[in-house]
Amino acid sequence: MPPCWTTPEGDALGEAPVLLACADWLDAAATLAPASIDLLYADPPFNTGGAREGRSGRFDDSWPTVGGWVGWLEDRLAATLPALKPTSCVLLHVDWRTSHHARLLLDRLLGVDRFVNHLVWAYGLGGSSPRRFARKHDDILFYAVDPERYWFDPPLVPATSRRLRGRTKKATDVLLIPSINNMAVERTGYPTQKPLALLDVLVRACCPPGGVVLDPCCGSGTTPVAAAASGRRAFACDPNPDAIRIARDRLRSVAAARPDPFLP
């Protein structure tokens, strides 16, 4: 049966700004209209070799081989490409385990000349190691469908130099945003939940106001929440019912917090 897109309130497909589906990315991709998506942000399982567990959910994160993970991702990315506009951006969120494979995959699927940035999300928190530099960043590979036409609004961050003190400057490809701490209000208990501040920066930078974001591995729904709160629309899916339940609850809270959450 094809996946069913519903609003956060559980209504059937309509013109709602955010639509959710409890579905595999591959099946969801087949239902998307051609050239309808402005930003594809995908934060797939990282192939850590085990299950990812949290207070409110769990998902399997293990493939027999790295090649198996690449093949899984390739099938889904390839199925999604027809849904992207010529002005679309693609952000693929991975880590040290697979970023080199993922970059070659995107070069192959989109073209080497479509590469825009290798973003580093430096998150800080966590332990250290006596045997190596502590691993404190994820990799977000930024590609454009058409390098001449993609939409981009550079984020501004506080300037640090003495000359520009108190002013802002355009962000670099290193995003210094803390991961979610144990006491954070936004923490849902879903494993590998990304901070809203990170998705807010990415969505505003790479999707025009009123545009459509697709998050095909949405987990706790951070991306559709960031999209809704910044006046973008979103399609978000995940095969894990826990993820979709949490995403629905978060999106209902966004709607309750503002009379019209979908206006910028």
**Sites of contact with ligand SAM (CB under 6 A):** 24-25, 43-45, 59, 190, 192-194, 216-217, 219-220, 222, 238-240, 243
Burial class (CB in 10 A: 0-12, 13-18, 19+), 199: buried
| Residue whose C-alpha is closest to residue 6's, from 229, 225, 244, 209 | 244
What is the number of alpha carbons within 13 Å of residue 122 lying toward its C-beta?
A: 6
Q: How far is the CB of 221 from ligand SAM (least distance, A)?
A: 7
- CB closer to ligand SAM, 200 vs 238: 238
H or E segment at 50? strand 50-54
Measure the CA–CA gap between 37 and 133, rounded to whole angstroms: 38
In terms of CB distance, is 24 or 249 closer to ligand SAM?
Answer: 24
Pick 47 or 87: Cβ nearer ligand SAM: 47
Q: How far is the CB of 251 from ligand SAM (least distance, A)?
A: 13
At closest approach, how far in Å is the CB of 145 from ligand SAM? Answer: 21
Residue number, 48 or 168, with CB nearest to ligand SAM: 48
The answer to whether the beta carbons of residues 231 and 264 sit under 8 Å apart is yes
Residue nearest to ligand SAM according to CB distances in the complex: 219
Nearest-approach distance from CB 105 to ligand SAM, in angstroms = 16
